[in-house]
Amino acid sequence: MKKNMDNNIIKIVKKNIIDNNLIQKQDKVVVAVSGGPDSMCLLDSLYRLKDELEFSISVAHVNHGIRKESDDEKIYVEEFCKARNVPFHYLKVNVPELAKEQKISEETCGRKIRYEFFEKVRKEENAQKIAVAHNLNDNVETIMLNLIRGCGVKGLTGMDFTFGNIIRPLLTIEKKDILVYNKELELNPCFDRTNEEEVYLRNKVRLRLIPYLQQLNPNFNANICRMRNILKQDNDFIEEYTDNIFKNVIISEDDNKIVFNFSAFMNEHESIKNRIIRRIIQKRTSNLEGIESIHVQDIARLLEKNIKGKKYIIGNKFTIEILKKNIAVIY
């Protein structure tokens, strides 16, 4: 067994925080804690670093109402926080019931509930950041999931250290090292048995696909991470180029519509053109859920034809209409 894994992980978490500017002095950080090995490693390491790096923490814990063990997990996390005088915030919801009402999967519903609660706690605490426990293995899984579903370069870069006010201090740390950390410090985390059930696609990727690929190449995780870093460099360059063009695209915007000049990007390479169309959609709708490459291509064809009054409608999501030559509106 590795010795002093706790010290090694503390050093890595500290380096990740400093190198990626995840937490500043005097920041308040809401730590999302399920009670499992990953989130307990995150909570414990941030607790140990908070005085040295001069930030404070509070904890947010969600009971999804799916497993009978959830009440015990709440007690475990709450007692851990009480012993260390860390503020504890708790939400219990019936995710299966809500998922049926909203006609979405339990997985999607649970994630939505969690992040809405984390944001609510962040505002209540006047905190700057929400720390989540995604690790290196989670990132490999995410990249493989994106590949299976079909994605562009961005999807193959997986998760970043930051996303808005969300931070991921454990992103470079392997799961096996997290488990050793928990054991060495006798944290006795809770284990979610549903993570071992091949119900969700992510679980199938974790339990079947990745172990098989590791049999073919024991360095599979390291190779995926190396590929991810290379692609991220390329993607960052393309995003910076896209940023410079996008500055000249938006003419006006309000709560209901965005008017844009598409002549500013229609002569660009297809890659840039598609990225800007996606940005326009995201700026209007706040997300790209349900927007596929075929939709973006159809919109590009509409703009290329440049015929006044022509529209492209995606259900009740949005409409793009040509107002006059080179000028369109999304509403």
If you average pLDDT over residues 28-50, what whole number do you get? 98
Q: Report pLDDT for 305.
A: 96
In a domain, 167, yes or no: yes
Are residues 174 and 314 both part of a single domain? no
Are residues 31 and 158 both part of a single domain? yes
- What angle do the packed helices 95-102 and 106-124 form, to 10 degrees? 110
In a domain, 240, yes or no: no
If you average pLDDT over residues 295-323, what whole number do you get? 95
Phi, psi (degrees; rounded to nearest 5) at 29: -125, 125
Q: Report pLDDT for 68.
A: 84
Task: Label residue 1 by pLDDT band (50, 70, 90).
Answer: very low
If you average pLDDT over residues 70-88, what whole number do you get? 96
Mean pLDDT of the chain: 94
In a domain, 159, yes or no: yes
pLDDT higher for 200 or 279?
279
Q: Would the pLDDT of 260 be above 50? A: yes
Q: What is the CATH number of the domain that holds 165?
A: 3.40.50.620
Q: Would the pLDDT of 3 be above 70? A: no
Q: What is the pLDDT of residues 82-124, one digit of tens each?
A: 999 999 999 999 999 999 999 888 888 999 999 999 999 999 9
Are residues 186 and 106 both part of a single domain? yes
Query: Structure pTM?
Result: 0.86
Domain residues for the domain of 118 are 5-216
Q: Report pLDDT for 6.
A: 77
Integer Cα distance of 289 and 112 in angstroms: 13
pLDDT higher for 198 or 122?
122
In a domain, 225, yes or no: no
Are residues 18 and 107 both part of a single domain? yes
Are residues 150 and 252 both part of a single domain? no
Q: Report pLDDT for 2.
A: 47
Q: Would the pLDDT of 198 be above 90? A: no
Q: Report pLDDT for 128.
A: 98
In a domain, 221, yes or no: no
Specify the number of domains making up the chain.
2
Are residues 138 and 210 both part of a single domain? yes
Are residues 201 and 268 both part of a single domain? no
In a domain, 230, yes or no: no
pLDDT higher for 315 or 4?
315
Are residues 54 and 138 both part of a single domain? yes
In a domain, 236, yes or no: no
Q: Would the pLDDT of 151 be above 90? A: no
Q: Report pLDDT for 110.
A: 92
